[in-house]
Amino acid sequence: MNETLAIVGSGAIACGLAAAAAHHGPVLLLARSQSSAERAEAAVEKTLSRLGAEIDPEHVQVVTDPAALAKATFVVEAVVEDHDIKAGVLSELDAVLGPEAILASTTSSLSIERLAQASERADRFVGLHVFNPVTKMKLVELVFPRGAGEETRKRTLELCETFEKTPVEVPDVPGFVVNRLLFPYLFSAVRLLEETGMDPVGVDTCMRLGAGHPMGPLALLDLVGLDVAKAIGETLGEPVPARIDELLAEGALGRKSGRGFHAY
């Protein structure tokens, strides 16, 4: 079926998804306020411009009223990485959407089973973990709750195919596969920094040129956002290095604030 897609949120993942979806047809983006809507609109336009994409601007419609999503058939929640906040949004969406609509969450570490229960449509729920920047990263970690129906699986896979993404079904464990393996490494890079006093550029250069990584671990933490990284670490039970807490206390969140381990 041709899905009527909607995305809830106005951060990097939500805007990246909207830009990726705009290549394939109209998409609704629900922001929580008019100021968030304006920022999201600008972010999507900037992404499309950077990609050199000739997309009809009307393909991405930014709204602030949840009722505008009533006719959506596939809705992706992409709000802050906090179970209670996500659960509240999902419950609100369930009340607005038609019975055939599928709800998805882009959570990178939270329990899909618990979020599915909060959505009150576990048969039509899926974890759809995409990666930043969404327009470039091909992987989608798919996490289906126990109650997910066969139609939900089929439609989700078809959506991934439409977006030219590579889906991999993963278990519902904290951090799924990528973050479960990645964050111990990222945090160990911060601890090395704390122990040795090395310059962040030096650490990142070593891992880029010595291990063939496209981005160093500290630059990657900045891209993820140090606030998001802290939340993921806590969900994984991975001790968050003191340097991350210090930077957060200074308002240094990474790229989105202009400073993290590096300045932008």
Q: Angle at Cα 56 formed by Cα 54 and Cα 61, nearest 5°? A: 135
Q: Are 13 and 131 in contact (CB under 8 A)?
A: no
Q: How far apart are CA 173 and CA 183, in angstroms?
A: 14
**Look-up: residue for tokens 């880029």?**
208
Cα 260 to Cα 42, 234, 248, 264: the distances in Å are: 23, 19, 8, 8
pLDDT at 47: 87
CA 142 to chain centre: 13
Which pLDDT value is given to residue 172? 97
- CB of 150 closer than 8 Å to CB of 121: no
Catalytic residues: 108, 129, 141, 179
Give the whole-angstrom CA distance, residue 18 versus residue 21: 5
Q: Is 13 exposed, middle or buried (0-12, 13-18, 19+ CB in 10 A)?
A: buried
Q: What is the pLDDT of residue 57?
A: 63
Question: Contact at 8 Å (CB) between 260 and 252?
Answer: yes
At 1 the pLDDT is 54
175-189: per-residue pLDDT in tens? 999 999 999 999 999
Task: Give pLDDT tens digits for 117-164.
Answer: 999 999 999 999 999 999 999 999 999 999 999 999 999 999 999 889
- Residue by residue, DSSP assigns 46-106 as HHHHHTT----GGGEEEES-GGGGTT-SEEEE---S-HHHHHHHHHHHHHHS-TT-EEEE-
Those residues of the chain that have pLDDT short of 50 are none
